Structure 1
Amino acid sequence: MPPPGHDQIQREELSRLFGQLVGARLLLVPLVLAAGAWMAWVDPTGWRRALLAAILVTVAAFFIIEYVRFRRRGGLAPGQVRINLVAAVVGQMTLTAATGGLGSPFIYVAVLLAVIVNVFVRPPVSAWLTAFQVLAVWTFAVLGATGAAPLELELLGGAARRPPPVGLGLGLHAGFLTVVLVSIAFAGRAGRKVFEAILRRALAAQQDSLRAYAERAEELTALSGEIAHELKNPLASVKGLAGLLAQGVGPGKPTERLAVLRQEVGRMQAILDGFLNFSRPLVPLVLDDCDVAALAREVAALHEGLARERGVAVEARGAAVRARCDPRKVKQILVNLVQNALDASPAGAAVELEAAPAPGGGARIRVQDRGPGLDPAVRDAAFSPGFTTKASGSGLGLTIARSLARQHGGDLVLSPRAGGGMVAELTLPATPAGAGTGAVA
């Protein structure tokens, strides 16, 4: 079984390469039209003139249409590649028949087409096209030897330029072309197999590397969770002892230092809580039909005191928006977003929470600030574990928030705000993805 992505990469690369041929063959249209028109003009045979005119107009129109289609769609589907090559082989042999059979200057175009067919098309289609080419070559040889159909062009010398016996010469010519066409078929098939084997081995190696990386990351995540869990209890003891010491110390520097100590221990506990949330699996959703606008107002009320200390306003607006979600997890997402917005906002600014129905059902909550925003070059990295622009940040808040959003089947995206700042938009679907596995409140 081929590794994931094998067939898609092969289709995309072959489609891209064939697209270049689609563009290149347009350059041949004027040459083919000129050569065919000259032959039709010089040769007096009426059926040949009519056939050449029909073939040349059809081939030119087909080339142009396929080129326009390729440019519009940015590629060709595997079925279109086969259709193109079938049309090319049939058209080339028909043109060869109309311009002299084995004596036609277009007969050796079959060799080039055989190479392209066996590179871009898998068996059995490539085998059938090669068989058609060989059959056409021997048909031309038989018709030329028996004189059953006047294929030779008088302007190219016709039968007069072939010394007797004519049948032997045509047979040798047809045999030579057969050997060449069949050899190309086998070589093309072997080359395609080599290409597929190289691609398969490269993708398998990539999958092995990704699997090893995922296993290593899982081990490190579990280890970080264990370390964080082991450190929480000692830190709680340190914080408690610092509080007891503060009660027995009068005002002055010792009290201030103990307050700083407790503050730093609290910050360390918050970082450890982030590691624990990141390392443990997401628990199933506990779904409830709730008003997300009310959740936004509740989160805004929770941060009023912190916002007032920093000279920032927190505003929540929007009519009732019902959504089926896990209110605890949605609240956790909003708390993280509002804290980030408060950290980024300058004094005198406002953090705005806006709830509204999402297009197609569900709900949408935006948390907007007037901070400096994020550089577009690092905006996508903001959700990567460990990425932070804060001096004291853990770099896990947005990672966990997006994981919770996607557990619902929604998403969390960041975008620049008009006039400066950032917009964090949480979308929740009408039917959460975890609806079938979570509990129901």
Structure 2
Amino acid sequence: MPPPPGHREIQHEEVSRLFGKMAGGRLAALPPIVVLALWLAWIEPAAWRRVALVVAVVGMCVFFVAEWVRFRRLGFSPGAIPRNLVIATFWQMGITAITGGLASPFIYIAVPLGMIAGVFLPWRASLLLSGVQIAATFTLAALGATGAAPELNLQVFGGGARVGPPAYLYTHAAMLSLVFLFSSGAGRALRWSFDRMIRRALTAQQASLEAHAERAEELTALSAEIAHELKNPLASVKGLAGLLAPGVPEGKASERLQVLRREVDRMQAILDEFLNFSRPLVPLALGDADLGLLCHEVAALHEGMARERDVGVAVRADGVSARCDPRKVKQILMNLVQNALDASPARAAVELEAARGADGAARVRVLDRGRGVDPAVQGSLFSPGATTKPRGSGLGLTIARALARQHGGDLVLSPRPGGGTVAELVLPPPPRAAGGGEAGGTGGGRAA
């Protein structure tokens, strides 16, 4: 069966972490190994063995340090483990051969090497490495049994060609071979168990996510249906309130009726935002749109609201075009201007600017002089339900950014120098401007 999504990434991450610990652990193991090897070289009368020990120890130190530095600088690569295990196996067998063969204290390093190979290498490669260890072990037994190397054994252990009769040497080699195979198999079992746990965890996670997605889709559809059904009675309530308004004399009753109508309007706006959020994004109707014209239209639509709040609206956006869906871009700008007007104090100004960046992307900015975005909630303002308004639905910015990203652009909020907020809509450059960029100027300001 193919591995579940995310299996290879988790496997690579964990193997990389283990390799990093192994590379660091080897540096910690260097001092005792170096001390032991240098002590043997010091007391060993044979000149060839002294030279071989020094060369082996220096080569091991250089390789361990170089691999640690490589990992720290370049990170983990798939070829690092096979390279390290092959070199370590041949080094271990070499230093075993020059320090007494089967009587060498270094021969037992082959056991953890076999287990590590079983964990990190494919089973064929780990089996091949175990075969190399077994072949080297029987070769050392044959050298001792035949006396082909008269000074094979260390002088500190008695010297000579061997440490026992041939039957002992071959039996020793056979038992070591079984240990090597067992350690490699144990490593493979650990790796199999590890992979199986990851697969089961990821499979369960995938099933849980699919069930959650299905449930969320059902709840979203149900909520959208309920919201749609609520719009009809709200429209009836609003219509009846409108019919009653002319016949109600001035006073408390008239004020209460006005409050009722305002609350109905607010509920209808919240339901509209929720329906826009819950329904899938419809395909874009792309065309060349004049962003300056869209900015002026949005400013004109908010002229009455701005006058009521004693806030000015200025537009500096002439001569900038973009390949976009004008209706959706207008929806984004209306949401941003509405937010800016809500945040602006009296006698302030909301500004709309449009310009083309150096990368050819069109950028529309809505600037206000409000209190600005609280850093504590800035990261969550685009999440559904997050809002800083006492009566906000928390869906406007979510929908606006979804529409911006549907165009291949984005919507970002940032603090404005001197106080306030900058909401910037970025639209990607049209295909003809992607290569060299299309010059776009900004015209003079015009108040709306």
Q: CA RMSD in A?
A: 2.5
- Counting only pairs closer than 5 Å after superposition, residues 33-432 of structure 1 correspond to structure 2 as 33-73=34-74, 75-149=75-149, 150-159=151-160, 162-163=163-164, 165=165, 167-317=166-316, 320-358=319-357, 360-430=359-429
SS in 1 for 2:380: helix
Counterpart-to-counterpart distance in 2, 1:69 and 1:400: 47
Instruction: Decide whether aligned partners of structure 1 residues 78 and 419 sit closer, same or farther in structure 2, where only a CA change above 3 A counts.
Output: farther
Instruction: Decide whether aligned partners of structure 1 residues 263 and 182 sit closer, same or farther in structure 2, where only a CA change above 3 A counts.
Output: same
The answer for unaligned runs of 5 or more in structure 2 is 432-448
Structure 2 counterpart of 1:335, one-letter code:
M
Aligned-residue offset at 1:239? 1.3
Deviations 1:305-342 (A, max 9, x none): 32333233434435644322212112211221222232
Aligned-residue offset at 1:431? 5.6
SS in 2 for 1:107: helix
Partner in structure 2 of residue 27 of structure 1: 28
Asked if the contact 2:152–2:162 (Cα under 8 Å) also holds between the matched residues in 1, the reply is no
Q: Comparing 279-288 with 126-135, which one deviates more in the overlay?
A: 126-135
SS in 2 for 1:264: helix
Counterpart-to-counterpart distance in 1, 2:360 and 2:127: 52
The answer for unaligned runs of 5 or more in structure 1 is 433-441
SS in 2 for 1:414: strand
SS in 2 for 1:412: strand
Q: Comparing 220-229 with 340-349, which one deviates more in the overlay?
A: 340-349
Aligned-residue offset at 1:158? 2.8
Aligned-residue offset at 1:160? 7.0
Counterpart-to-counterpart distance in 2, 1:344 and 1:25: 61
SS in 2 for 1:323: strand
Off by >6 Å, runs of 4+ in structure 1 = none
Q: Comparing 41-50 with 99-108, which one deviates more in the overlay?
A: 41-50
Asked if the contact 1:358–1:427 (Cα under 8 Å) also holds between the matched residues in 2, the reply is no
Counterpart-to-counterpart distance in 1, 2:243 and 2:418: 49
Aligned-residue offset at 1:55? 2.9
Deviations 1:104-146 (A, max 9, x none): 2211111112222222223222222222222222222222222
Partner in structure 2 of residue 436 of structure 1: none
Structure 1 counterpart of 2:7, one-letter code:
H
Counterpart-to-counterpart distance in 2, 1:180 and 1:385: 60
Instruction: Give the TM-score normalised by structure 2.
Output: 0.87
Aligned-residue offset at 1:169? 1.9
Aligned-residue offset at 1:212? 1.2
Q: Is structure 2 residue 14 aligned with structure 1 residue 13?
A: yes
Counterpart-to-counterpart distance in 2, 1:136 and 1:357: 71
Instruction: Decide whether aligned partners of structure 1 residues 343 and 183 sit closer, same or farther in structure 2, where only a CA change above 3 A counts.
Output: same
Instruction: Decide whether aligned partners of structure 1 residues 154 and 405 sit closer, same or farther in structure 2, where only a CA change above 3 A counts.
Output: same
Instruction: Decide whether aligned partners of structure 1 residues 326 and 118 sit closer, same or farther in structure 2, where only a CA change above 3 A counts.
Output: same
Instruction: Give the TM-score normalised by structure 1.
Output: 0.88
Asked if the contact 2:112–2:183 (Cα under 8 Å) also holds between the matched residues in 1, the reply is no
Q: Comparing 153-162 with 75-84, which one deviates more in the overlay?
A: 153-162
Counterpart-to-counterpart distance in 2, 1:417 and 1:151: 80
Q: Comparing 93-102 with 179-188, which one deviates more in the overlay?
A: 93-102
Instruction: Decide whether aligned partners of structure 1 residues 10 and 339 sit closer, same or farther in structure 2, where only a CA change above 3 A counts.
Output: same
Percent identical among aligned pairs is 63
Aligned-residue offset at 1:256? 2.4
Asked if the contact 2:311–2:347 (Cα under 8 Å) also holds between the matched residues in 1, the reply is yes
Counterpart-to-counterpart distance in 1, 2:359 and 2:40: 63
Counterpart-to-counterpart distance in 1, 2:412 and 2:103: 67
